[in-house]
């Protein structure tokens, strides 16, 4: 297993995809507990906001570093990359709606579930279509890209306002 520090670009993004999936599962667990008779449970809004923050940073490093590198190395990936960027835009609208919500309730549960479905679809395309192309591309140094993306990710995690800008 690669350590955190030496993941290549695809491994780094995959690790993010898995981490956010765990958060969606945790949110659903808390929502189900709250919906049960007399259920209260801890506030799941904290998890929803963590999902928003992690997806925001993830989308930034893809848009700033990964997608442009792919665009440069793989001219025939243009359609895939355009579709991916359009999906990012849809996700950003949902994130903004979630961040504007008050306490966690059934409408937040519904929106988190919708976001989960959108992310599942998007991640599947990245994993099944973009990553294999990236791995096969000549002249694309996924190790160096991984280092660059990790550094940017760490900087953005320390400065959430910059990540959302
Ligand atoms: Fe993406
Ligand atoms: Fe991604």
Whole-number Å distance between alpha carbons of 158 and 103:
25
Centre of ligand 2 from the C-alpha of residue 122, in Å = 7
Q: Read off the pLDDT of residues 127-165 as tens digits, 9 standing for 90 and up.
A: 999 999 999 998 899 999 999 999 999 999 998 777 777
CA angle 81–99–120, rounded 5-degree value: 40
Centre of ligand 2 from the C-alpha of residue 108, in Å = 23
Centre of ligand 2 from the C-alpha of residue 57, in Å = 10
- Please, what are the domains in the chain? 4-164 (1.20.120.520)
Half-sphere exposure of 101 (CA within 13 A, CB side): 22
Any idea which of 35-44, 78-87, 106-115, 130-139 has the lowest mean pLDDT? 35-44
Q: What is the 3-state secondary structure (H, E, C) of 73-91?
A: HCHHHHHHHHHHHHHHHHH
> In this structure, what token pair is assigned to residue 131?
């990553």
Whole-number Å distance between alpha carbons of 146 and 165:
23
């Amino acid at each position: 297993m690669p350590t955190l520090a030496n993941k290549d670009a695809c491994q780094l993004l995959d690790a993010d995809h898995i981490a956010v999936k765990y958060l969606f599962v945790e949110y659903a667990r808390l929502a189900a507990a709250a919906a049960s008779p007399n259920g209260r449970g801890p506030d799941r809004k904290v998890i929803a906001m963590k999902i928003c923050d992690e997806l925001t940073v993830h989308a930034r490093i893809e848009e700033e570093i990964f997608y442009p590198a792919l665009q440069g190395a793989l001219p025939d990936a243009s359609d895939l990359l355009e579709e991916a960027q359009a999906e990012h835009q849809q996700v950003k609208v949902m994130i903004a709606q979630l961040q504007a919500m008050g306490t966690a309730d059934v409408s937040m549960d519904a929106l988190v579930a919708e976001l989960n479905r959108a992310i599942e679809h998007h991640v599947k395309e990245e994993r099944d279509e973009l990553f294999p192309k990236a791995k096969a591309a000549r002249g694309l140094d996924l190790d160096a890209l991984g280092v660059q993306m990790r550094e940017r990710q760490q900087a953005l995690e320390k400065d959430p306002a910059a990540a959302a800008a």
